[in-house]
Structure 1
Amino acid sequence: MKREVSTSTIGRDEARRPLMEAYMFQRRVLLGCSLLMVVSLMIWITAIATDHWIIISGGSGIFIPESRRFFMSSHSGLWRHCRNTIVPNALSNAQVVRNFSSMSYTSQTNINDARRNLSHMEFIRQFALESLEESNEFTESARRRMFAHWARGEEDDFQMFRSAFHKLIMSTEAGQRDYNATANKPISIDPLDVSGIIKRKTFGAALQRVKYNNTWSYYVIPEIAQQAIFSNWTDYPLVVRLLGTYIRDIGIPAFVLNDERVILILTPPLPPSRGGQTAFYSYIPNQRCKYIDMFPNSNTLRNEPGFDDELMDYIRTQASFACITLFVMSLGAVFSFYTFFNPRYMFKRLAGGIHLVAASTALVVLQVLFSSIDYTKDNLFYAYPDGAQLTYGYGVYLAWFTFTVNILCGVLFLWYSGKKKGAKAPTDEIAMADEPTIMGR
């Protein structure tokens, strides 16, 4: 039997045709947003996984006194940091003035191994058992005991002697003059000018002639550091190699001041453009990449001059919000696709709201990153040397893309989340979906 279609039904379908076309356009737009959110999620994962967010270039090389190296470049992300340097090593027969830290190990692994070997040596055991003299001065036996406790990793005993050294030596007026520098720009000293340095007495009593590796050379050892080490220290194995680390752990700066209390820095010549060596120095490229320890202890931070407690707060905040953004974006992608299975308006609004929250957390990551750069530039010379150039890596641009996509998709989902009831709906099914739901008992 043939069913007759009433003119009223035909008229209603014709009236709803523009609504259906608009609704299908809306679905295509939101489908595109949903697919774009998946792409954006993958891009965000790529962005937070890369270590190319911040790129710092040192040009032809910036000498860093703390590490005795030329800073060439560094790049870092939210989890990983890489640093490229060139290590200048004075040749054994070269007539140059050396800093005492150049005798020491620079690798933390070598330092730990050397301390472990040193702690089992007989002279360290004897030093640790020496009786202390009754004196108001920091005596020779106290120096031996302090070094022995440091070598054996006996932290409480070492800190006790360290506190005594600070009180008796470093806190005195003479001690303060040795390491309390003025804010004036450090003075660079040419280490090749050996005769001039000796004649002018540039470093005063800090310039010492030391036999190392069967060769006599001039080393700059701060006077206050000389008071922390026991006599004949060069005659004992491994002591020379660990002197720089030992002096640093006591808290003695590695620099020397002139009469006006301005820092004097022995600055080797810049490395040759093609690497290799000159008549006085060899230049060894060095690259170190490591994952950032999010919760370092005090000893770890002491070994990392490019980080401090406040910078670690910035880094932890970045990492936390990066993970939060990842979770929220994943949730937003799920709800975006769910709106195609349930056309009710509230799910579109929920998806749009989640996208805007994800945009907000991504923006937090970027803002904290920029704040950490400003803090590093102002307070951590080792990580951001004067004269270095900053550029942003592709990780930052991917993060901005993710932020923009979340903002765009959030606005579009909210824009197309209006209620479609009655005559405003393209179909009766969609009209029923947007009707109020009365929940009974």
Structure 2
Amino acid sequence: MDIHEYQAKEILARFGVPVPRGGVAYSPEQAAYHSTEIGGAAWVVKAQVHSGGRGEAGGVSVCRSDREVAEAAGNLVGTRLVTRQAPGGKLVSRVYVEEALDIDRELYFGILLDRATERIVIIASADGGMEIEQLAASAPEAVVRMSVEPAVGFLEFQAREIAIAIGLRAEQIAPACRVFRGAYRAFRDLDATMLEINPLVVTASGRLIAADAKMSFDDNAIFRNPEVFELRDRSQEDPRERHAADHGLAYVGLDGDIGCIINGAGLAMATMDMIKVAGGEPANFLDIGGGASPERVLKAFRAVLQDRNVAAILVNIFAGINRCDWVAEGVVAAFADADVGVPVVARLSGTHVEQGRRILDGSGLPIIVADTLAEAAGKVVAAAAGRPLRSLPAHQPISA
């Protein structure tokens, strides 16, 4: 789950990380009021959307009067901001008005959960203000990485090493360590998966301030931090993923046209790979999980059909805890209740497979059945493209 910049800054401030003075506004009038309340001679108005690249997309403005603040907010609130990370646009329902900083240097500081090494990784650079992916590609030597040992956490000497590595002066090292370790505590205590301060600025007076911040959280740990879940902004989420999450399904939307309903994350990844090998593009990752009832399969169909780009659906089930007959009943129910208007290919294997195939064969519905994953992928790609299936291996119904 992602949150907005101003929410991330409120969290960081609770953990001792300095942030600029600011306020969130839902209207031009409220934005102008915040600039008056903050004081000073210049302010920054930022669109609050879950996307990077706001500045180059016109979502960040430096203003030097209350009138400019109101105009900048009026140009953003209620619009959709199109960025390189969100080509479809994100709704701007609020802006953040904060004091403009007298910036001397821009640094980068981030914390990530590295699933490959099962460690929290600290990433820092003396070159802030740009995407870390671009920096790592163009100048990998400029990026400092440090793994955190789970048993001991992020220690003071590690924070000092990072501060020295990114070129901070002697008098700035102690404040930098407080920033780094405060950010780490926020990441650890709230079950975050990503925390990014970019840029972490050094002002002309030598202060370190988090000028921008992003945080993402592990959805599975929300029960431990319900106050974090209250920060969720549903308007920023992919409507397909929002619909699936509301029905307890593990779903990730993609850009293809072949909907996938699969049990098990590993099988789902293998199925998407096989679809690509067959010349197609998956429209989603969807894991219905173990013990899937017919009702859960029906919910999965409805979630997949939320995507208007879906031209065919592949149901691939290798049943252990699941039962193929339950899945088959859900597939048949989907044709009655979910308005399935695209070809459906079903490949069932495992527990009660014979009963499941009999249900599909006896349904009288235009369900294309396959015996192997390769056959299923070939058939669903052909079905999505509208090609005839005669050249593909034919499924032989199981006799009663």
Q: Which TM-score bucket, shorter chain as reference?
A: under 0.3
More strand by share: 2
Select the structure of larger CA radius of gyration. Answer: 1
Q: Which has the higher contact order (CA 8 A, sep 6+)?
A: 1
More helix by share: 1
TM-score when normalising by structure 1: 0.23
TM-score when normalising by structure 2: 0.25
